[in-house]
Amino acid sequence: MAHEPPDSSRHGDSGPSADAAAEPTLPQQLPEVASSQRATLDSRNTDVRLAEDETAAAPSFRPPIAAANPDRGIGALAHGEQIDDFIVERVLGKGAFGVVYLARQVSLDRQVALKVGANEGSEGRTMARLEHDYIVQVFSESIDATGRLRLLCMQLVPGASLEGVIHNLHRRDAEGRCGWSGADYLAVVESRAQIHDVLDTTAIRDRELIAGFDCVQTAAWVGGRLAEAIDYAHRQGVLHRDIKPANILVNQYGRPMLADFNISLRAAEDGAPSDTAFGGTLAFMAPEHLDAFSNQNGATVDDVDEQSDVYSLAIVVYELLTGGRPFCEVRRSENRTRFVRDLADARRAAPPPLTDEPPSARKTLLRVTARGLEGQKGDRWRSGAEFAAALDGCREMRTAERDLPAPKWFTKSAWKAPFLWFALLAVGPQIIGSVVNIAYNFAEIVGSLEREQSDLFFSRLVPIYNGLVYPLLVAVGVAVVAPVYRVWRQLHSSQRVSEEAVAEARKRAVALPYWMLGIAAAGWLPGGLVFPWLIDRLLDQPVDGQVYLSFVMSFTLSGLIAVAYSVCGLQILVLQVLYPRLWNDPTSFRQVARSELANTPFRLWLINLLSAVIPLVASVIVLAPPAVAAFRNGERTVTEPIGVRLLLLALILLGIAGFQITSAATRRMSRSYNALIGAQS
């Protein structure tokens, strides 16, 4: 088991992860309830941090003898003293269920953790069936010669308890800003460990992985491994019922290992004993666990199930990430039964422990944890496996965030106000297209129209067209983006959000560039044919074919500018700002991203194509009208006015520059896409 330096701020630990000099806090009697019920009420705290270190017993079960006094009939074993096959080296810790020693097993000449307690309970038989990388292994169980003591020989885990690790990490990060990293986590474990392990080549990969993590990745990884451990235990028919940081050991490679199954419940089979002690730690109990503990609301021990363990683990993950507990204070009552009931009612009614902050992988991890802390079982993760998958998705999500290209000024600004930037990126290219359109129309088309035709075009047709088409297209754009905006605001807040709504908003966000393409094209391209046709129909003066061609060229060029650059800008916004943060349940993050972003490579190719066409169209506009005029007049050449040629030459040069910019942008977006799906750039 783990051994770490004594910590005077901690009171007794109920298992092998306790510090060397820690003295046990004895369970106190609750006179207001059944006389056999015990709970720990830690006088150091006035909120739900009460009873944070002690395991207690409940009235429905016969409490273990050792729970009344960990030293009753046991006595301290001195250094060098032998008991059965073990020679004691020193005390690792004391708890309500016995004393844990660092000992040497004589027959096999190895160091082990030896737990010596009263000959009661079935912890050894329970843990022996749990062979898992993230659960402390039991090697053997024996009874001493007197028949009064049970000796539990367990795996020695060099490292520290997660409780001490959390304390040290967040003492460095007093403001809870998640400034610690995986390397800090490993350093704390190393600093608290007094027993060092030999090189474990199978575990060193974990250490290398954690060393590159930040706090979000580390908390999600640790929580995910523990969730896998409790899911494995549940599938073996074992409930832990006392999951807390003090009962979790962290070895020197960063691996968390679940320990202390003193009050676990093993499914009755083959005559297995069912008189297991029932209790837990108030600060980590689910509402139904508190109800059963205090005989409230008709709750029984059968109501404490797999989801209750998930609830306790969610508190552990929250505490590792933030350094605090997820609940508001509950006023301590002199009537202790009432106090336990108030705790249960508060946790059942409390909203998820979230704060208002922009969506991110950290916020998603808090939401995943909050779902594990729902007061009603039906709203929680159904199993440890589901919880583990969601936590691993948070880790993948944070990895993708970190792998995205380093944010430029645009990305940093867009993180703060993404929908303001959506409006700018949607409208800005339309304005540029309008400027080009107006300039070309005045330079090329107006001179080819009669006065009445020109007045009709500028005074009546343009205002009517713009007054009808643009408001309609703006309304379509608002309708498309509104659901994404609503969900973004909900994710920004502390309110619950349905997974269905978030998934739909994410899909809509992915589709925004296509919607922009359609809206911009619908606004621009028809004008090239509609305007000359209306002029031709509304006046008796027929429109020349060259004017038709000029209109088509003008609106095509303006439309290409509006479409290419708005689609490019929105695609950047989606890939680097919106999509990575529109998540509520990130289970299978990479797989879902690959599916939802599957056509991104085609979009990037399309953006490059559209931007490349702009200077080509400008070149055609320079050459086509003179060539057509020369052909019709039977002349060899017709020279364009110098102003028109300068305008179109400028458009060609700007188009080439725009192509270079969009090419760089698409390369950056390609890196973002690869980061999101987990592919190599």
Q: How far apart are CA 52 and CA 246, in angstroms?
A: 9
Q: How far apart are CA 478 and CA 486, in angstroms?
A: 12
Q: How far apart are CA 72 and CA 541, in angstroms?
A: 113
DSSP letter for 48, please: T
**Helix residue spans in 525-599 (DSSP H):** 527-538, 545-573, 589-596
* DSSP per position, 594-627: HHHTTTHHHHHHHHHHHHHHHHHHHHHHHHHHHH
Q: How far apart are CA 122 and CA 287, in angstroms?
A: 26
First to last CA, the chain: 43
Tokens of 49: 């941090």
In Å, how far from its chain's centre is CA 99?
39
Tokens of 296: 């409230």
Residue with tokens 């959390």: 166
Residue with tokens 């800005």: 428
Q: Which residues contact 345 (CB under 8 A, 6 or more apart)?
A: 287
Residue with tokens 């269920």: 97
Beta bridge partners of 239: 265
115 marked as binding residue: yes
Burial 287-311 (b: 16+ CB within 10 A, else e): bbbbbbbbbbeebebebbbbbbbbb
Angle between helices 462-492 and 527-538 (to 10 degrees): 150
State whether residue 88 is helix, strand or coil: strand
Radius of gyration of the chain (CA): 35
* DSSP per position, 474-531: HHHHHHHHHHHHHHHHHHHSSS---HHHHHHHHHHHHHHHHHHHHHHHHHHTTHHHHH
Q: Which residues contact 220 (CB under 8 A, 6 or more apart)?
A: 317, 365, 391, 392, 394, 395, 398
Q: How far apart are CA 186 and CA 194, in angstroms?
A: 14
CB atoms inside a 10 Å sphere around CB 675: 21
DSSP letter for 581, please: G
Q: Which residues are annotated as a binding site?
A: 115
Q: Which residues are annotated as a binding site for ATP?
A: 115
